[in-house]
Amino acid sequence: MNKEEPSKSPVIEISQLSQFFQQGQTRLEILKNVSLKIRAGEMVGLVGPSGSGKSTLLHLAGLLERPSGGKIVYMGQDCELMTDNQRTKLRLHEIGFIYQFHHLLPEFSARDNVIMPQLIAGLTKIEAANRANQLLNMVGLSERGDHKPSQLSGGERQRVAIVRSIANVPRLVLADEPTGNLDPLTSAQVFEQFRSVITGGKLSALIATHNHQLAEKLDRVFKIEGGSLVEL
C-alpha cells in the first residue's frame, strides 16, 4: 500500500482554493486555485507584495473566513463540512495566530496574556500559570511576567505574542508579518526564537513575510503572483 506515514501526513491540505469578492459588476479575484500541503514540523514561508493575498490565505487557512471555492482539510477533516462551532473549537485548540502587531491585552500582565487562552480552552488557573511560566522562560522573559505590555520593549511584546500563540499546543501556527514591526536586529532575534519555539515543539507554521532574508531560513517558500501560488 502507498499509504503515507502518519508523521508525513499533511497537518493542513489546501486544494484548489479560490477567493473572490463581487463589487457591483466587477469580480475581484484574490486567490485562484491555490493548493498547498504543510506537514508536521515544517515551516513554510509566504511572500508577495502588499495586497497580493497573503493575509487572505492565512485567514482562510485559519478558518476565519470561508473560501469562494476549493477545500481545506485539517488533520484529515474537511473544514467545509464543519459547523461554525466546530471551526471555532478547532481554531482554539489546534491553530495559533501571530500578527505584526502583538495585540496583547494592555490591562493584563505578560503572564496573564499567556494564561488567558488556556483558561478559555478549559485548563485550571494553576495549570495555565505553570505553562505560562514555562513558555515565558523559554523566550527569556521569566523575569518580565508581571510586566504589562506598556512596560515591555517591542521585541519583548512580540515574544509574549509568540508564546501566547502556542499556549494551547496547536499543531499549526499562522504568522502574518510576525517581525514586520521590529527593527532589523530585533527582528532577527525574535525570528530565531520563533523558529526555535516551532521546531522545539514539532509544530507546523505558515509565515507571511516581506523579509526575504528570514524567508530563506524556512523549509519552503512560496510567492503569490496574480492570485496563484508559485514555489521559489
Return the domain boundaries, the chain. 42-68+84-231
DSSP 8-state class, residue 3? P
- CA-based torsion, 119, 121, 124, 126: positive or negative: negative
How are strands ordered across the β-sheet holding 228-231? 95-98, 172-176, 204-208, 43-47, 220-225, 228-231
Cβ(125)–Cβ(99) below 8 Å: no
In this model, does residue 24 exceed pLDDT 70? yes
CB 91 within 8 A of CB 84: no
Give 64-116 pLDDT, tens digit per residue: 989 999 999 999 899 989 999 999 999 988 999 988 777 899 999 999 999 99
Instruction: Identify the residue whose cell numbers are 495586497.
Output: 51
Superfamily of domain 42-68+84-231: P-loop containing nucleotide triphosphate hydrolases (3.40.50.300)
Give me the chain's average pLDDT, please: 88
Residues 28, 21 contacting (CB under 8 angstroms): yes
Region 48-54 average pLDDT: 85
197 touches 162 (CB < 8 A)? yes
On the question of pLDDT at 63 being above 60, the answer is yes
Q: What is the pLDDT of residues 158-217, one digit of tens each?
A: 889 988 988 988 999 999 888 777 788 878 887 888 888 888 778 899 999 888 888 888
